[in-house]
């Protein structure tokens, strides 16, 4: 039995090997490991609760040689990391398949930008009280040559594992700015930023270059970021966000209510808009829960004088409730699904000044 990676375990990965002949022995070995790894550590007045993800592969059931055994324990460990419900996680042959598919997708993704397989859809954002259009959020799609359309949740995390996200992020920004500058209606365009773009590039410089190259007035651009993007290095984040704001670009705090939802974030960072996460409007939420969240976020928005937008609005009842609660703006399938620019032009919401 082994837990960790091949050929050498990383700094926070360890291998443990044990000869076993019965399921009971495996259980007791895992129990011993967990007892040690999960033991609380007292430090001065506080207590630290350590944790670990355990992946298990058994010889000869799961592998015929040492390398494969360690490799398969590693696969199981990654699965345990991703899915806390499967802990400890035993190797299954389907894990190989998943990893192979993922690796193949990562290779394809590297080609996707060059091959022009990425596309941007736009989803309308409206003022609730009047129904007027406030702007559009740009959402990337991957038109894979054999798999069809792949949604961002299935490839953005993959892109974030390498520098690809920087390329993709800049491509989306440049595409959106160069398209929006041609619209006759000066709607705002919102572009999602990945935390990696924040950490690994001079994002303020990238934004300013793209605005200059495309000619889009900065006031028309909004960048959407989540709290997790800024939480790691708050001092630097504040500096970068100020630079972006100074250009005239606005900032939206995305997915609010899911992560830290910290009052401090709202107090310290210069956000122009709070977006209540779409999960609060999902079918599984009881309506009194949704209402409580909406009222709480609206109260925060009022206190900090930041307008609030609700995401994922699918029903008239939700819109009526938001209107009654005094929510400023909304986005969701009820108001318009994400669509290619050509479709939005066809339905008359946007007219183009001229074509390139
Ligand atoms: P997000 O920023 O929260 O984007 C909103 C997501 O909600 C979009 O999913 C949109 O299609 C979906 N949505 C909108 N209205 C409704 C609704 O009424 N009901 C439901 N159930 N869903 C609705 P999408 O396009 O699949 O994007 C998923 C996520 O991928 C985005 O979540 C964003 O985090 C990320 N993403 C998309 N485009 C980009 C991009 O260009 N760069 C980066 N870094 N991330 C992106
Ligand atoms: Ca967003
Ligand atoms: Ca969101």
What is the full DSSP assignment across 210-254? Answer: HHHHH---GGGEEEEE-HHHHHTTHHHHHHHHHHHHHHT-EEEEE
Instruction: Report CA(252)–ligand 3 centroid distance (Å).
Output: 10
Cis status, amide bond into 7, omega within 30 of 0? yes
Q: Which residues are in the CB-under-5-Å shell of ion ligand 3?
A: 254-255
Cis status, amide bond into 60, omega within 30 of 0? yes
- CA nearest ligand 1 atom 37, residue: 139
| pLDDT for position 351 | 97
Q: 248-263 burial by CB neighbour count: b if 16+ within 10 A, else e?
A: ebbbbbbbbbeeebee
CA–CA separation, 309 and 254 (whole Å): 10
The top-level CATH class assigned to 2-92 is alpha beta
Query: Taking CA 142 as the corner, what is the angle to CA 180 and CA 174, rounded to the nearest 5 degrees?
Result: 30
Instruction: Report CA(311)–ligand 2 centroid distance (Å).
Output: 9
| pLDDT for position 10 | 58
Nearest ligand for residue 309 CA = 3
| CA-closest candidate to residue 146, choices 105, 102, 96 | 105
Which tokens sit at 67?
Answer: 């390398």
Is the CB of residue 55 less than 8 Å from the CB of residue 76?
yes
Under-50 pLDDT residues of the chain: 1-7
Instruction: Report CA(228)–ligand 3 centroid distance (Å).
Output: 13
Whether 180 is in the pocket of ligand 1, judged by its Cβ within 6 Å, is: no
The CATH label, of 3.30.1130.10, 1.10.10.60, 3.20.20.70, 3.20.20.450, for the domain at 105-346 is: 3.20.20.450
Instruction: Report CA(330)–ligand 3 centroid distance (Å).
Output: 11
Is the CB of residue 141 less than 8 Å from the CB of residue 119?
yes
Whether 352 is in the pocket of ligand 1, judged by its Cβ within 6 Å, is: no
pTM: 0.84
Is the CB of residue 79 less than 8 Å from the CB of residue 89?
yes
| pLDDT for position 355 | 52
Which tokens sit at 266?
Answer: 């709202």
Whether 156 is in the pocket of ligand 1, judged by its Cβ within 6 Å, is: yes
CA–CA separation, 293 and 305 (whole Å): 18
- CA nearest ligand 1 atom 34, residue: 192
| pLDDT for position 87 | 82
Whether 151 is in the pocket of ligand 1, judged by its Cβ within 6 Å, is: yes
How do the domains of the chain map onto residue ranges? 2-92, 105-346
Instruction: Report CA(182)–ligand 1 centroid distance (Å).
Output: 24
- Give the CA distances from residue 74 to residues 9, 32, 81, in Å, rounded to whole numbers and listed in that order: 9, 20, 10
Which tokens sit at 162?
Answer: 């390498």
CA–CA separation, 211 and 215 (whole Å): 6
Which atom of ligand 1 lies nearest, measured to the CA of 277? 3
Place of tokens 């990696």: 196
């Amino acid at each position: 039995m082994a837990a960790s990676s091949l050929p050498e375990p990383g700094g926070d990965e360890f291998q443990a090997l044990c000869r076993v002949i019965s399921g009971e022995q495996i259980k007791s070995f895992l129990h011993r490991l967990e007892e040690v790894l999960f033991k609380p550590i007292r430090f001065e007045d506080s207590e630290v609760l350590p944790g670990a993800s355990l992946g298990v592969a058994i010889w000869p059931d799961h592998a015929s040689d040492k390398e494969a055994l360690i490799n398969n324990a590693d696969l199981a460990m990654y699965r345990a990391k991703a899915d806390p419900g499967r802990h400890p996680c035993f190797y299954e042959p389907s894990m190989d398949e998943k990893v192979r598919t993922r690796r193949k997708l990562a290779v394809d993704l590297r080609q996707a930008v060059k091959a022009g397989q990425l596309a941007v859809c736009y989803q309308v954002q409206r003022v609730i009280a009047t129904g007027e259009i406030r702007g559009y959020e740009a959402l990337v799609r991957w038109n894979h040559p054999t798999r069809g359309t792949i949604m961002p949740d299935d490839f953005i995390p993959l892109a974030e594992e390498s520098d690809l996200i920087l390329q993709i992020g800049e491509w989306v920004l440049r595409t959106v700015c160069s398209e929006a500058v041609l619209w006759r209606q000066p709607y705002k365009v919102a572009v999602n930023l990945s935390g990696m773009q924040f950490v690994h590039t001079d994002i303020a410089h990238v934004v300013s270059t793209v605005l200059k190259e495309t000619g889009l007035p900065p006031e028309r651009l909004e960048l959407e970021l989540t709290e997790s993007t800024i939480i790691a290095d708050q001092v630097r984040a504040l500096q970068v966000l100020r630079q972006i704001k100074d250009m005239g670009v606005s900032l939206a705090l995305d997915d609010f209510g899911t992560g830290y939802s910290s009052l401090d974030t709202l107090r310290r960072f210069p956000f122009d808009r709070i977006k209540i996460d779409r999960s609060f409007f999902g079918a599984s939420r009881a309506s009194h829960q949704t209402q409580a969240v909406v009222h709480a976020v609206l109260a925060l928005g009022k206190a900090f004088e930041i307008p609030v937008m609700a995401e994922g609005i699918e029903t008239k009842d939700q819109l009526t409730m938001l209107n009654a609660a005094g929510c400023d703006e909304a986005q969701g399938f009820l108001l318009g699904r994400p669509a290619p620019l050509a479709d939005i032009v066809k339905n008359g919401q946007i007219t183009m000044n001229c074509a390139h």
